[in-house]
Structure 1
Amino acid sequence: MKTTNVADQVTRAALELFASQGYATTSVQQIVEAAGVTKGAMYHYFQSKDDLLFAIYDRMLSLQKAHLDGIVAAGGPVADVVRAVCVDVVETSIDFLPEGTVFFRSMHMLPEPRLKEVTQRRREYHDEFAALLRRGQDEGLFRTDVPRSLLVAHFFSDVHYLSHWYSPEGPETKSQVAQQLTELFLRSITEQGRGADDRADQH
């Protein structure tokens, strides 16, 4: 067994056990047995079961933030940037659907310092996303009659709800879902789309 694989083995085993029987009822002994490692090997990488729960979500959070930074750095029209970010966050959330499901179900059990760290990092992502929306508002592309915080919450509530209904077996692929949710969101926040909706309401 290569030592470089120990952390991944333990993380995968913990994810499967947390998903099947719950975080609170899963013991460290069960995790190391499922991973095929010793407790000493596990503790070389993770100080506690809390660290494992954090690590499960950290992989997804770090990847999404890196993608966000890369998309923003590449530049382009703000509408295209927002579209690319939205598609990416839906697709990566689906890729990490088990991780997200386990974490959001059990995050309240994290110790306060870890919970604060997660909250802060999620806020940083949301703040960068909100800054993109503000650019679009400044250019007259996005509606300004709704607070940006509500626009951000509107989109990410759809993302966080994916685990309640999405199935990798179909009928929609992750790319289709990402494109559809993104289109629905952008139509709801664009000034042009809002004007069309307002005109339809008048008939």
Structure 2
Amino acid sequence: MRTTSVADEVLRAALELFAAQGYANTSVQQIVEAAGVTKGAMYHYFSSKDDLLFAIYERMLSLQKRRLDEITAKGGSAEAVVRAVCEDVVVTSIDFLREGTIFFRSQHMLTTERQKEVKRRRREYHDAFAELVTRGQAEGSFRDDIPVSVLIANFFSDVHYLPHWYSAEGPEDKTEVAEQLTALFLRGIRRSDD
């Protein structure tokens, strides 16, 4: 009995192949053979290889946005919420490290429509994050001498750099890395009374 769906098998196969040989060098035929499905079965769920690349990244985008909404809904001070959100985005980015790496290497090959959709989804997340930082400024917790966009770029540059250095075999696990990067970020944006 099969425990995974055809769509999951196709995505798994695409992820493996994109990681091993690159998006541009992977054919639909290779994907369906690795997934053990027919092209018709794949096309029932995905209209193109472009759809597969988008779906790989979309899972991470959806999870992170859902988690941000859940954390925000719990309430608390802006600093407490920002801490929880930052730690979550680092952990989920590490959980989806391979997916994110493949996507960032290949996103320029997406159709213009898909690129716009990714940009819109990422902007939605960043805008919600910016609202939290702005709330922290209004509460007097976060510095306001640097534009919010620069503060956010500072944090997400660390997140986007994770594939270049993070290893699950390294000395720190994902939770420790999330706590450390978050602590550094919060120290940098916290208002100083000096």
TM-score, normalisation: structure 1: 0.93
Aligned partners of 1:3 and 1:23: how far apart in 2? Answer: 27
Map of 1:34 onto structure 2: 34
Structure number with larger C-alpha Rg:
1
Deviation at 1:2, TM superposition (A): 4.3
Map of 1:98 onto structure 2: 98
TM-score, normalisation: structure 2: 0.97
Tell me, which stretches of 5 or more residues in structure 2 are unaligned?
Answer: none
Tell me the alpha carbon deviations over residues 18-74 of structure 1, each in whole angstroms, 9 at most, x when there is no partner.
011000010000001111111111001000000000000000000000000000011
Q: Which runs of 4+ in 1 moved over 6 A?
A: none
1:14 maps to amino acid: A
Aligned partners of 1:3 and 1:32: how far apart in 2? Answer: 18
Map of 1:79 onto structure 2: 79
1:163 maps to amino acid: P
Map of 1:146 onto structure 2: 146
Tell me the alpha carbon deviations over residues 96-145 of structure 1, each in whole angstroms, 9 at most, x when there is no partner.
00000000000000000000000000000000000000000011110111
2:121 maps to amino acid: R
Aligned partners of 1:77 and 1:3: how far apart in 2? Answer: 42
Map of 1:53 onto structure 2: 53
Map of 2:189 onto structure 1: 189
1:115 maps to amino acid: Q
Tell me, which stretches of 5 or more residues in structure 1 are unaligned?
Answer: 196-203
Aligned partners of 2:153 and 2:19: how far apart in 1? Answer: 26
Secondary structure at 1:130's aligned position in 2? helix
